[in-house]
Amino acid sequence: MTDSGAQAEALVASVPRTRIFLNRLIFRGMLFSMGAIAVVMYRLIPDKNVTWRFAKASARNLSKMLGVAVRVRGLEYLGAGPYMFTPNHQSNFDIVALLGYLPGNNRFGAKKELFKEPILGLVLKTMGMIPIDRDDPSAAIEMLNRLTRDRFSTIMFPEGTRSRDGNLLPFKKGAFVTAIELGVPVVPVVCKGTAEIMPKGRYLSILPGEVELVVLEPIPTAGMSYEDRQGLRDVVRERIQAELAK
C-alpha cells in the first residue's frame, strides 16, 4: 500500500463507521434532492439569482451537516469580476466548498462526459455549467464569452483531475488560454484539507474536519497573447504550490 493509501486508511479508521455511513447518506441524499429542487426552481422562477442563492446555501448547509468547517481567506482581493478561478483539486469536496463559499454565481467547467449522467447532467445543464471537450474547445469558449459578458466568473481545475496523494499535478493550459482570450484576470485558489475530508479511493467516505480556501491575488491578463499561456500557467502553479507548502 502506498503512503497516501495508508494515510487514507488511517484517517477513515479514526472516525466511527456509523458517522461515515451517516455522512454518506447525507451527501448522496442532499445531492439528489437539492439538485432536483434547483432544477425545478431554475425553470419556474424568473429571477435565477433565487436558485443560485438556494444552491450556494445548500452547499454550506451540506458542509455543516457533514461536520466540515470551511473558512476562507483572501476575499479582500476580489471585486465584481468576472474572473477565471483556478483551484487545485484534491477531492470532490472541493466543488462543494467552492460552490458554497466563493462569492458569485460561478460556473464550473466540467468534462463533457459528466453531462451525459441522467441526474447530474440535468443539473449541470440547467445551472449553466460549461462542458469541456478537449478535442473541440471552441464551443466552450463561445459559451464562456457569453458568461463573461454577463459578468459571471468561471471555475476550472487546471490539474484536470484529482490528485491521488495531495501533491500538485502538472497544470494543463486550457484555463489560461481561455482567460487570455476572454481578457479576464486569473485568480489562483488553494484548497486545503479537502483530501483528508474526502480521501480518494474511499467511496464517498466523508470525514468531519476543517477545510480552508485561500484566494490569492488576481493576475491580470490584459495585454497578454496566446504566447503568454505557458508563463501564466507556471506562475499560477508556483503560487498555489507555495501556499500549499506553508
Q: What is the pLDDT of residues 109-138, one digit of tens each?
A: 877 777 777 777 888 888 888 887 766 655
In this structure, what CATH number is given to the domain that contains residue 11?
3.40.1130
Confidence grade of residue 97 (pLDDT, cut at 50, 70, 90): very high
- For residue 141, the model assigns a pLDDT of 67
Specify the length of the chain in residues. Answer: 246
Grid cell digits, residue 91? 477531492
- For residue 1, the model assigns a pLDDT of 43
Grid cell digits, residue 124? 449541470
Q: Return the H-helix or E-strand segment holding 102.
A: none
Helix (H, G, I), strand (E, B) or coil at 146: helix
Q: What is the pLDDT of residues 190-225, one digit of tens each?
A: 999 999 898 766 556 788 999 999 999 999 999 999
Let me know: does 141 contact 180? Beta carbons within 8 Å: no
Q: Which residues contact 233 (CB under 8 A, 6 or more apart)?
A: 158, 171, 172, 173, 176
Q: Which amino acid is at 66?
A: L
How many domains does the chain fold into? 1
- For residue 60, the model assigns a pLDDT of 96
* Angle ∠(70,74,78) on CA atoms, nearest 5: 115
Q: What is the pLDDT of residues 139-166, one digit of tens each?
A: 666 667 766 767 789 999 999 877 777 6
Q: What is the pLDDT of residues 37-55, one digit of tens each?
A: 999 999 999 999 999 999 9
Dihedral, CA of residue 240, residue 243, residue 245 and residue 246, to nearest 10:
180
pLDDT at 4 over 60: no
Name the residue range of residue 41's domain: 3-245
Q: Which residues contact 234 (CB under 8 A, 6 or more apart)?
A: 171
